[in-house]
Amino acid sequence: MTRSVGPDVPARLVDHHAHSVVRDIADRPSLERFLTESGEPPPEGCSHFDSFLGAAMLRTCAPVLDLPPGASADEYVARRTELGGEAANQRLLRSAGVAEVLVDHGYRGQELVGLHELAELAATRVRRIVRLEQLAEAVAANGVAPSRFAEALEERLAAELSGPDAAVGCKSVLAYRYGLDVDPAEPRPHEVRDAAEEWLSAGAALRLSHPVLLRHLVWAGLRSGVPLQFHTGYGDADLELHRSNPALLTGLIRQAAPLGTPIMLLHCYPYHREAAYLASAYPHVYFDVGLAINYVGHRAAAVLAEAIESAPFHKMLYSSDGFGLAELHLLAAVTFRSAVASVLDPLVVREARNPDEVAAAAAMIGAGNARRVYNLPSDG
């Protein structure tokens, strides 16, 4: 007898890329701003709920707040307000079934609850990812001579990666700050010094976008040995989408291969097939389709199928990219589990694979790959 992969496999996910949540939502517009990458309100008379994301969010999250799945957006916001931010966040986050979250707190972190509070709200283990550009900007803000910049950055990064609260990975937002079509070569020390001089002499404008320094950060991350995440694909309106295609990293991936540092391609959509190719071609490359699975709502299984169709199961990870709204953490987890189950099910039904073997593949994608690559102790 054949049986399909249960939708509860894996039971406890590891979310390898997410952000924290806001403490509370004041009203419907302040909730809706998290349902779009545009950062802008919808046109007059329209709503960001009018999307696959909005529909999937209401269907998934309304019952967690004791409403029917068909509740309207207004009913949902009213009920959320009645419960209060803390209770709503707890219910939504704890319903996600996530064992562990790796959080990038370097983007608008001051608007979101701290990582300790997030761990309490979600009743989950939270670990840090260091955002390299933010680290470099902090080094600059502290005041550093251009000739000392590389050394100061290295010391700061080493400190972030050590001790009981050590970060478990680094992240690069090269795609936002320049584009992934950067020269892949590691810059030489004198180039870094000259670039630091140019950047630091600009004074107040400390947002780092100098391509030589961005490359230096990438290589510092690669040399640190912990997995290095790259934002690729889909993102907010700062991005030049065509310059975020992960295939643009091919030269860097090849040059970095001897180091063996895992390269984690985040989001990837709509270039998830390119990412799947890179992950299958290069032993140190991994990928996910986080963010997209929320935005595409009930189409998530189709996107996941396109991503996994050519990649080995040991190369894909789960991420929610939940930002701001606890709902996005829950929706991603629910959507991901159901998409994985429906995508892997044909292995049992059509390909005569053992259901336990297929469930093990689902567990690998949902949790095991992240535990192995980030060297996280097993759940328990």
Is residue 288 part of the contact set for Zn ion (CB under 5 A)? no
CB of 15 or CB of 321, closer to Zn ion? 321
Nearest distance in Å: CB 33, Zn ion: 16
CB of 149 or CB of 374, closer to Zn ion? 374
Stretch that binds Zn ion, among 28-36, 48-56, 163-171, 318-326 (CB under 5 A): 318-326
Cα-Cα end-to-end distance for the chain: 32
Q: Do strands 263-267 and 285-287 pair parallel, antiparallel, or not at all (unpaired)? A: parallel
CB of 17 or CB of 156, closer to Zn ion? 17
Is residue 321 part of the contact set for Zn ion (CB under 5 A)? yes
Nearest distance in Å: CB 19, Zn ion: 6
Site track for Zn ion across 289-308, x = CB under 5 A: --------------------
Report H helices in the chain. 28-32, 52-61, 73-83, 85-94, 115-122, 132-141, 149-160, 174-177, 189-201, 211-224, 250-256, 272-281, 292-295, 300-308, 326-349, 355-363, 369-373
Nearest distance in Å: CB 220, Zn ion: 21
> In sequence order, which residues have a C-beta less than 8 Å from that of residue 191 and are 6 or more positions away?
212
DSSP-assigned letter for residue 204 = T
Nearest distance in Å: CB 348, Zn ion: 33
- Which residue, judged by CB position, is nearest to Zn ion in the bound state? 321
CB of 171 or CB of 193, closer to Zn ion? 171
CB of 187 or CB of 322, closer to Zn ion? 322
Site for Zn ion in 266-285 (CB under 5 A): none
Is residue 181 part of the contact set for Zn ion (CB under 5 A)? no
Reduced to 3 states (helix: H, G, I; strand: E, B; else coil), residue 138 is: helix
Cα–Cα distance measured from residue 264 to residue 275, given in angstroms and rounded to the nearest whole number: 10
Cα–Cα distance measured from residue 232 to residue 329, given in angstroms and rounded to the nearest whole number: 20
Q: Quick check: 316 and 286 in contact, CB under 8 A? A: yes
- Which residues sit at the interface with Zn ion, rule CB under 5 A? 321
